[in-house]
Structure 1
Amino acid sequence: MSDMSTHADAPRSPGRPRSVRADEAIIEATLDLLAEGSTIEALSIEAIATRAGVGKATIYRRWSGKDALLLDALRRLKGIQPQPGGHSVRDDLVLLVGAVGQNIDPRAARIMPCLVPEVNRSPDHFQLYQNIVEPRRKVMREVLRRGVASGELRADLDIEVAMALLTGPMLIQRMLRWHPELDDRLLPERIVDGILDGIRAR
């Protein structure tokens, strides 16, 4: 896969400062094209440049290639990861589970389900997805490890399985509306309390 580093990590070149407006236009154009049905494979730098009203060189000055741009665009779509307060394992887990599959941007409802087949078909796209979600997994992993260290959670807890148990129900409900009668506002607490019954220290 091509270099996945984001433009934020790239060294600034000398000369005129980069235009934030151009950055925004490029990200928005990428998300718009995906929301309109373009696949990752079909999406081109040329199409993004045309929609954003910039030249291709403007994009390449900011991102190393399409994968790096997609990583930034999809991170924008996912929004900012909530930061646990660190006072209560339960409250921190409720906060993190509540953020699973939750996107403020309405385009996410059209983009995210369409990415699933592409992620399953392509090792490169699978890695792109992993680069987006791993920082979020890391935050939940730290909360669970803190619970084990404090004695609140079982010493033999399988952290990775616990994360799957916590995130899976919320993800399938928000992406597929698996059960229309479940209340999304109450579901994070119900999931966490149900899982905690099995993973609390005895």
Structure 2
Amino acid sequence: MSDMTSTADAPRSPGRPRSTRADEAIIEATLDLLAEGSTIEALSIEAIAARAGVGKATIYRRWSGKDTLLMDALRRLKGILPQPAGHSVRDDLILLVGAIGRNVDPRAEKIMPCLVPEVNRSPDHYRLYQNIIAPRRQLMREVLARGVAEGVLRPDLDVEVTMALLTGPMLIQRVLQWNPELNEHTLPEQVVDTVLAGIQAR
């Protein structure tokens, strides 16, 4: 008998890198199903596996369950966190406000509005949403805190209320198209300048 062992029979080494192609297929399948109208509650690992062309075990090797998979899929939908340059509070706020509700993936227009009622109905889905949005909120919090520390913004600034003032107009415009007369491209700068007029140090 030959001492040679065929490649097919050879044991796999521990720590073998997982397939990036499978990861991508699973994430894409999740987003496709949500864009086609599946609710978070109705979305199943079985349906995702079938759409991605993988077995359920492949998904469970990568994610502990549906919620962790959804978190990664929705983070993908939101895109990469913007990175403030740290030179100008105004410029950094315009960058962060401009990223609110903006998604490069066209499926976001179908998915995000449908998630709002589910987030309001389910404590679990609300926690999922908070886990996704918290890092973005923290970035804005840090910029505002830096503005206070540098003396650019009022020392008595309520940072949490200010974040709501900066965020609300962009969300309502981009998610609901509340006012067709507003220019989406110039709105971030207009919102920031309007709020800054009230929170700048005197």
Structure with greater Cα Rg: 2
Distance 2:90 2:14 in 1: 49
Report Cα offsets for 1:36-86 as digits up to 9, x if no partner. Answer: 000000000000000000000000000000000000000000000110000
Q: In structure 2, what is the equivalent of residue 40 of structure 1? A: 40
After the TM superposition, which residues 1-202 of structure 1 pair with which residues of structure 2 at under 5 Å, given as runs? 14-202=14-202
Distance 1:119 1:14 in 2: 40
Distance 2:17 2:150 in 1: 48
Identity fraction in percent = 81
Taking structure 2 as the reference length, what is the TM-score of the superposition? 0.93
Count of residues paired in the alignment: 190
Distance 2:95 2:180 in 1: 22
Distance 2:97 2:195 in 1: 12
User: What 5-or-longer segments of structure 1 have no aligned partner?
Assistant: 1-12
The SS at the match of 2:18 is: coil
**What RMSD over aligned residues (CA atoms) do the two structures have, in Å?**
0.9
1:181 CA displacement = 1.2
The amino acid across from 1:137 in the alignment is: R
1:35 CA displacement = 0.2
Taking structure 1 as the reference length, what is the TM-score of the superposition? 0.93
